[in-house]
Amino acid sequence: MGLSAAAPLWGPPGLLLAIALHPALSVPLHRDYCVLGAGPAGLQMAYFLQRAGRDYAVFERAPRPGSFFTRYPRHRKLISINKRYTGKANAEFNLRHDWNSLLSHDPRLLFRHYSRAYFPDARDMVRYLGDFADTLGLRVQYNTTIAHVTLDKDRQAWNGHYFILTEQKGQVHQCSVLLVATGLSVPNQVDFPGSEYAEGYESVSVNPEDFIGQNVLILGRGNSAFETAENILGVTNFIHMLSRSRVRLSWATHYVGDLRSLRLNSGNAFGKKYPLIRASYESKGSRGLFILGTASHSVDYRKSAGGFIHGFRYTVRVVHRLLEHRHHSVTWPATELPITQLTSSIVRRVNEASGLYQMFGVLADVILLKENSTAFEYLEEFPIQMLAQLETLTGRKAKHGLFVINMEYGRNFSGPDKDVFFDDRSVGHTEDAWQSNFLHPVIYYYRYLPTEQEVRFRPAHWPLPRPTAIHHIVEDFLTDWTAPIGHILPLRRFLENCLDTDLRSFYAESCFLFALTRQKLPPFCQQGYLRMQGLVSTESLQQHRVESRLLQDYAPTGRRLEDSSQQPGDQEPLGSPLAPGPLTRSLDSNKEEL
Amino acid sequence: MQLQLIMFSSFNVFRVGISFVIMCIFYMPTINSLPELSPQKYFSTLQPGKASLAYFCQADSPRTSVFLEELNEAIRPLQDYGISVAKVNCVKEEISRYCGKEKDLMKAYLFKGNILLREFPTDTLFDVNAIVAHVLFALLFNEVKYITNLEDLQNIENALKGKANIIFSYVRAIGIPEHRAVMEAAFVYGTTYQFVLTTEIALLESIGYVTEVAEDPQQVSTVHLQLGLPLVFIVSQQATYEADRRTAEWVAWRLLGKAGVLLLLRDSLEVNIPQDANVVFKRAEKGVPVEFLVLHDVDLIISHVENNMHIEEIQEDEDSDMEGPDIDVQDDEVAETVFRDRKRKLPLELTVELTEETFNATVMASDSIVLFYAGWQAVSMAFLQSYIDVAVKLKGTSTMLLTRINCADWSDVCTKQNVTEFPIVKMYKKGKNPVSYAGMLGTEDLLKFIQLNRISYPVNITSIQEAEEYLSGELYKDLISYSSVSVLGLFSPTMKTAKEDFSEAGNYLKGYVITGIYSEEDVLLLSTKYAASLPALLLARHTEGKIESVPLASTHAQDIVQIITDALLEMFPEITVENLPSYFRLQKPLLILFSDGSVNPQYKKAILTLVKQKYLDSFTPCWLNLKNTPVGREILRAYFDPLPPLPLLVLVNLHSGGQVFAFPSDQAIIEENLVSWLEKLEAGLENHITILPAQEWKPPLPAYDFLSMIDAATSQHGTRKVPKYMKETDVQENDKEQHEDKSAVRKEPIETLRIKHWNRSNWFKEAEKSFRRDKEL
């Protein structure tokens, strides 16, 4: 225990934590996990720890959860959307439009049951967080202020040291892992001649009458500045807004922390002083110390949603999964599936996953191929900056190649001052998919797991190192990537060419034919038909099969099979079975649903 | 011999050029600079048979000039044709005769090996197109004949009649881009066609594109129709002949390469055509009647033709793509058929659609079958049809509730039920764990599964009489059509573990085969009757009316399952799409008797005799009824050419080597012949008729190579000088500039860079072509 260990915990000051050298006086209570703060991030972590049956405690200064929201935003309107009806039933998908709910197994604990407003009132958030903690029986110690945190070196400890937390009242806690979810609640200090006359957002009056007939200068052009301006607009002479940079509108930057509308705004007026942490949300200074929630936003600052509930509910789950593997040998959850399900598993995720969508560029799905590419493991929402360390962090093996599924905006699109409504901004043709501008799925294929060097020195503006091959699924305004020709077919071709195999599906009759006329069978027949799970066609489908000419009519026309190899690039003899016949269908059929 | 005129915007020509450039960008990034050599050094580098273009200049001449820039540009294209380019600096010490005396008299020389082919004053090589055109023109002296008058053309035509096709091309001048395009085309196709080139417009005009006819336009056929081009007849009569002829010539000139133009002489015509018609239009498609038109303007004729050949043009475009099948066309039969069938309405109401709210309540309330599917997944949707067919067949008769849940909507429910792939069928019965259906995804097998699951297995049999009814098929009369075999496990009451294991096996096989258990005190009566020592299985084959006994040596559930599944196999089964996998599993060569209809009982008897005599132990004998399994014909076509008359007996060595042997079709299928054939086979004296292909299943078509497209776009950007660091004040301006720049780039490269090739194999092929040409040069 000493100064050197404790001091560099955070570089910049500004977190409410004070670090001291007080040796513990009372008998310490041991906890495997200590969570500081019962805000949304702290409660989210508590939920995962509770579900996993871990030994944990949450310490909260205030008497109830979410004390931040009892005071902020000052004008009481949240800027996080609460879209209660999306036209879809898929609960996972709907979380894309629900920016306030925490993750849980209990559908009653969805924010839409707490507010009808699209931009809800902060009081509803306080009520929601209280219910979340109570209903799930989370172990939170309220009215508990942690006065000191020290490090106690101990070889037996999980991380080589314990975190010693001392309450104001003197009670001491010994924690193996410390999860800090205290948010950012120290305001930016301004310092210039005359700054003593400035009123901070944290204390400014919210009563417009206090500003009647005045000239007001607002420093900053963020959400809080506009929130304040809007509130007093009707009564002032002039409002000047001054800022170092030009106004950033979030529809131009895709960053939810930027101004989302000129009318509604709040929050986020506090500094850009985030602690130094890794992409795994662990402190660079002390092993076993993790930063959750708003304070973890440095990982994706100005890029993704990690500073907001709808982002950090997923990053908190990432931290939990990393901890489960590190301390409890629970490998990162994954589904193992036969290779014939590869295309479908990707289509399913990109169409419904919320974590991928909210935390684009930060969390990505990873597919680990098994030997000979006959099967794969699907891992959801892995922090992509940690890709090189995937094996040690998840306990899974990436020996035979991998796919990474990331959501991306086009590179031409985003940025302050760019006209997001320029002509031709949407891409409709499959071959132009790589130029898609709106958020769309991008699949990276690597033969080998990239190294740390490769991740660090990746090309500029690339979220990941240069892959062996890349696929963009063409953008879709409704984020519906299920068009058979426009989305699924090109994806299959990409996967086939990466794996050097044929991933088409076949009816049992075709597999029967292949089984008796070829020495090898395509994966779909091997994994389905030969295991007595072939797909039998119905009369109506059989008729379409004949008409489509994908199936050879059984009229005698001489030997043909022997030379109808399905090699890429080979010109297929016309009329060979399953060779693409002269089907003419325009690409406009993209939008036609099954 | 055919005379063809080609337009020099042809796709083929440019395609070659483009893929070369791309190849070079990625593979030969270093060969961009013009090598500068001394004369001595230069001549030492010349290789026999290799062409080389050298520009000789004074050492003190300016280092840059317009010509040098163009020459530099030409390095890459010429490199693609195996022609090297160099700049030779004439120095005083080394006097070469190629070094001119004055600065402005410097020339470029084309060598092949060390033989001088041509010298070019620099002003003829005015730009990169001229350089490439002139150099290729010199090299392809024989492949491209330059002519100036009609006589030359006729001589060439006469010489080649019946031997080769001629491509006649007209360009306005030598050295212009069109000339280069012709030369590049000639480089690739020069061995296939005789190229004839002229710059004389008079020659072009004198050829005459207009043929005169006096027959029924419906019957007229020219080379144009064969090429898929329509015909335009200009209707003429004596009085206006001269004017009509000029009109026809003019139309022909305008429609060059798009349609054939003929002058139809109305006066000598035997068939009647409408009085007022002055133009007849005949489409290239066969059987389409000709159109009689009244058009008073040449432009109207042109636009009529152009508007009506649109479809043709698209097809031509696809043909010239030279990439075979289009990768945007569906080649997955399941996806394609489901898509084609998407508008048909299924009687979905026969099944209950479940949601998150109703799922648990429904499967708890009644015995249910649940189909988990995804609305966007083709295999799911194909199977949904069979599922609905099952519902139709069971309508009003089953106690089992048929339900379905779309996992695209109710993802969480599916995940909670451990469903991670589609489609999945599960059976939920009160108080029991859900069971996943593992059979064929088709109506018949699923129906069988549902029907057999009306009772639970193994059935507990309690009296000898009941056991006999069970074995005779009386007990479950309505079920035995779904399970041709009933299994009865015989145990003495004390065999506890054996009974448990058997119960486990029976439970595992529920839905696929009927199992029962008998372990009363009087079990010995049964074991004696069927000569089975306990524990044992009795297998009642209902179709054959036979009961066999199998001793249970091992009583592990897994082994029992194996014994039962093996016992379900027949000795000489009719092989079908549905049952092949069970026999395929045995890994033995198949001895298949192909029969057009039911198998001849005598053949069957002969083969069964051989089976009993153990001749066929190393094979799986079976027969295939082409009436039930029509795909069998396709199989036969893969084996035989030509197809001998049926029946046919073949031995297919599926699992090792893929050889197919045919029993001589002139021999009768009787025991002796079969035995001697098998003996010859074993001795290696029979020749196989074919070997099944052993190719791996590779990607059917390439994918879009987005990585290369991104690279190409990036490298285009890279050539512009972008300042490494931007000053604060510059940001705004730069932003704007880049933005504009991007939108400009967006249009252009994408059009040209629609590279569909995934593998570079096609580029290599093109490269190979050029290397082959190198050798010929």
DSSP states of B446-475? HHHHHHHTTS-SSEE--SHHHHHHHHHT-T
- Mean pLDDT, chain A, rounded, equals 77
pTM summary value: 0.67
Measured CA to CA in angstroms, residue A384 lies from A280, A376, A448, B491 at distances of: 9, 19, 15, 60
What pLDDT digit, counting tens, does each position of B464-506 carry? 899 999 998 888 888 888 888 899 999 988 888 888 999 999 9
| Cβ-based contacts of B327 with chain A (< 8 Å) | 490, 493
Three-state secondary-structure class, residue B490: strand
Contact across the interface for B700 and A504, Cβ inside 8 Å: yes
Average pLDDT in the A25-39 region? 87
pLDDT digits (tens, 9 = 90+) for A325-363: 999 999 999 999 999 999 999 999 999 999 999 888 889
Q: How far apart are CA B342 and CA B336, in angstroms?
A: 10
Q: Which of A539, A365, A318 is nearest to A464 (CA)?
A: A365
Inter-residue contact A5 to A151 (CB < 8 Å): yes
What is the rounded radius of gyration, in angstroms, for the C-alpha atoms of chain B?
Answer: 40
CB contact under 8 A, B328 and A587: yes
Residue A99, min C-alpha distance to chain B (Å): 19
**pLDDT tens sequence across B615-668:** 888 999 999 999 999 999 999 999 988 888 888 999 999 888 889 999 988 888
**pLDDT, average across residues A448-455:** 92
> Which residue of chain B is at minimal alpha-carbon distance from A577?
B634
pLDDT band at A301 (very low <50, low <70, confident <90, very high): low
**CA-based nearest distance A378→chain B, Å:** 10
CB A206 within 8 A of CB A231: yes
Nearest CA in chain A to B652: A516
Question: Closest Cα of chain B to A365: distance in Å?
Answer: 15
Residue found under tokens 């402190």: A283
B151-168 burial code (b ≥16 CB/10 A, e <16): ebbeebeeeeeeeeebbb
Instruction: Give the residue among A581, A372, A347 at the shortest CA–CA distance from A473.
Output: A347
Considering only CA atoms, which of B260, B258, B234 is closest in space to residue B246? B234
Q: Residues of B with CB below 8 A from A245's CB? A: none
Please tell me if residue A558 touches chain B, with a CB cutoff of 8 Å: yes
Tokens of residue A234, six digits: 């009707």
A280 or B28: whose pLDDT is higher? A280
> Are A91 and B412 a contacting pair at CB < 8 A?
yes
Give the CA distances from residue A301 to residues A12, A78, A382, A408, in Å, rounded to whole numbers and listed in that order. Answer: 16, 20, 18, 16
CA distance B669 to chain A (A): 22
The residue behind tokens 């003419």 is A584
Q: Which tokens hold the place of B186?
A: 């000639």
Partner B contacted by A341 (CB < 8 A): yes
Q: Is the pLDDT of residue B527 over 90?
A: no
- How far is it, in rounded angstroms, from Cα B95 to Cα A320? 82
3-state secondary structure (DSSP) of residue A315: helix
Residue A541, SS3 per DSSP? helix
The answer to whether A435 and A470 have CB atoms below 8 angstroms apart is no
Q: Is A494 on the interface with B (CB under 8 A)?
A: yes
| Mean pLDDT in residue range B543-547 | 85
Which value, to the nearest 10 degrees, does the dihedral of the CA atoms of residues A24, A25, A30, A33 take? -40
Q: Mean pLDDT lowest for which of A298-307, A522-531, B352-361, B393-402?
A: A298-307
d(CA A41, CA A313): 7
Full 3-state SS string of B615-658: CCCCCEEEEEECCCCCHHHHHHHHHCCCCCCCCEEEEECCCCCC
Which pLDDT belongs to residue A57? 95
Q: Which of A347, A554, A557 sits opposite B631 (nearest CB)?
A: A554
Using the beta-carbon criterion (under 8 Å), do B577 and A508 form an inter-chain contact? yes
- pLDDT tens for B229-287 read 888 898 888 888 888 888 888 888 888 778 888 888 888 877 778 888 888 888 877 77
- Report the sign of the C-alpha dihedral through residues A280, A286, A290, A295, in that order: negative
Which of A510, A556, A565 comes nearest B333 by C-beta?
A: A510
Give backbone dihedrals phi and psi of A81, rounded to 5 degrees, phi first.
-75, 150
Backbone angles phi, psi at A264, to 5 degrees: -110, 130
Q: Which residues of chain B make contact with A594, given a CB cutoff of 8 A?
A: 338-339, 342, 375-376, 378, 381
Cα distance between residue A171 and residue B7, in whole Å: 92
Helix (H) or strand (E) holding B730: helix B730-752
Q: Which of A430, A469, A518 sits opposite B693 (nearest CB)?
A: A518
**What is the band of B57 on the pLDDT scale with cuts at 50, 70, 90?**
confident
Of A335, A351, A433, nearest to B420 by CB-CB distance is: A335
Looking at per-residue pLDDT, the higher value among A418 and A517 belongs to: A517
CA–CA distances in Å: residue B719 to residues A410, B542, B654? 22, 81, 57
Model confidence pLDDT, tens digit, residues A118-131: 888 889 999 999 99
pLDDT exceeds 50 at position A481: yes
Kindly provide the b/e burial profile for residues B650-665, where b requires at least 16 CB atoms within 10 angstroms of the residue's own CB: bbbbbeeebbbbbbee
Element (H, E) at B592: strand B590-595
Determine, for residues B330 and A554 on separate chains, whether the beta-carbon distance falls below 8 Å.
no
Give me the pLDDT at residue A370, please: 94
A-chain residues near B701 (CB < 8 A): 493, 568, 580
Cβ atoms of A46 and A181 within 8 Å: the answer is no
Does B587 score more than 50 pLDDT?
yes
Phi and psi dihedrals of B599, rounded to 5?
Answer: -75, 140
Q: Indicate the pLDDT class of residue A236, thresholds 50, 70 and 90.
A: low
Question: What ipTM does the predicted assembly reach?
Answer: 0.78
Q: Chain A window 88-117: which residues touch B at a Cβ cutoff of 8 Å? A: 88-93, 107
Q: Which residue of B has its CA nearest to A461?
A: B714
User: Minimal Cα–Cα distance from A409 to chain B, Å?
Assistant: 15
Q: What is the pLDDT of residue A375?
A: 95
- Find all residues with CB under 8 Å of B522, minimum gap 6, and list them: B464
Name which residue leads in pLDDT, B761 or B539: B539
Per-residue confidence (pLDDT) for residue A13, from 0 to 100: 39
CA B18 to chain centre: 24
Q: Name the closest residue on chain A to residue B438, using Cα atoms.
A: A533
